[in-house]
Homo-oligomer: A and B are copies of this chain.
Amino acid sequence: MQPNWSSHYANRTNRMKGSAIRELLKLTERPEVISFGGGMPAPEIFPVDEVGKACDRILKNFSDKALQYGTTEGYNPLREMLASDAKKRGLSCDIDNILITSGSQQALDLLGKVFIDPGDKILVENPTYLGTLQAWNSYECDYVTVKSDEFGILPDSLEEELKKKPKLLYVIPNFQNPTGISFTLERRKKVVELADKYGVPLIEDDPYGRLRYDGVDLPSLAQLDSELRGQTNGQYNGNVIYLSTFSKILAPGIRLAWVIGPAEAVSKMAQAKQGVDLNTSTLNQLIAYEVGKDGFIDKHIEVIRRVYHERRDVMMDAMVEHFPQKIEWTHPEGGLFIWVTLPEGNDAAKLMVEALKENVAYVPGGSFHPLGGGDNTMRLNFSFSNPQTINEGIGRLARVLKTHLK
């Protein structure tokens, strides 16, 4: 008798839908397709030489560490480096505030494991990062969406929902995925104050913060939270768990990210991580440390900024030139994405079929909306394709829109 595997699946798997987008994006892997779909960095500026030199040094001098099991919390010199870097940029913390994770996606899963009971209410922006929904769906939470405008999440809507004591508040204050919108300083302060007032833990997801092309860097919510508490020295002990990653400033292939949070919560997440993967690749941790310890990453970020800045401008210019007038889009000051809104009544998922015929792809915006809706939206990535390809792709997409838009 053939085993019937699906009869054995846990109930939570009913919430774990495979991403329809992901299936769609498989179609975009044909080489003739110009894809604005993924969130991938530009491979031509990966710091290949520095990674190679780091590998040489590591295997020559530290192979016994790099190839061996490591501690669950992470490689201590790397944790020190990250704590010191956070301090330099305004957030006082120490090594016990830092947990190394296997990409930020793992940090999201660990947050789910440590905090989310089935039925818990989680406050999120609408739209919000799809990967977070995928991570937390398996913990069977319910999402409550809070409205945003071009300055970030709306304080009045937020307060109304915080009063109902949700389990967590999750936001992406810098160049949000998918919208590209950033919170203003005033909004940041307000969000931190409100989360504190109602005692709701605040999850700050910041994969793109270092990738700003216009304007000035704004403080993290974690930093503002410290300042609100007057705790601007020593260990961080506030209400924010901050997530960031090497994926966008070094390379996603090493799957390396970090959490900065109160020592108690970080230690609980480390306990969860022990059961999940024992530790993050020690080799990859040593690579990030060796590449980063003498300041190379800061210099490399300048290169990334220059390249993505140009690509964003090229994409926005091409959109202005070619897109039909009824279409609106965001003007992100950084990050990887532009968010497009078609006139009501259009379905970006259906349009994808036409777009693929023209060999161009994007992510339909519906799946970033945890409670449905947003069918007339789409996310465009500008980091992966070079300027010429961006121009060509936006041209193709404009033709599709001109032909099929209602």
Contacts and interface: CB of A to CB of B under 8 A. Distances in A.
A277 to B, nearest CB: 5
A220 B88 CA distance: 54
Contacts of A65: 253
A168 B9 CA distance: 11
Contacts of A41: 68
Interface string A52-70: 1001100100011111111
Nearest to A136: B275
Contacts of A105: 275-278
Contact of A69 (B116, B253, B268): B253
Interface in A106-139: 106, 108-109, 113-117, 120, 131, 134-139
A275 B115 CA distance: 16
A5 B201 CA distance: 8
A183 to B, nearest CB: 21
A345 interface: no
Interface in A180-208: 196, 199, 201
A12 interface: yes
Given A43-B64, A115-B8, A134 B274 contact: yes
B275 A255 contact: no
B68 A48 contact: no
A272 interface: yes
Contacts of A64: 43-44, 46
Interface of chain A: mostly helix, strand, loop or mixed: helix
A399 to B, nearest CB: 29
Contacts of A280: 255
A167 interface: yes
A232 interface: no
Interface string A230-268: 000000011100000001000111110000001011001
Given A113-B12, A284-B283, A135 B66 contact: no
A262 B109 contact: no
Interface of A: 1-3, 5-6, 8-13, 16, 18-19, 22, 38, 40-41, 43-44, 46, 48, 51-52, 55-56, 59, 63-70, 102-103, 105-106, 108-109, 113-117, 120, 131, 134-139, 167-168, 196, 199, 201, 237-239, 247, 251-255, 262, 264-265, 268, 271-272, 274-284
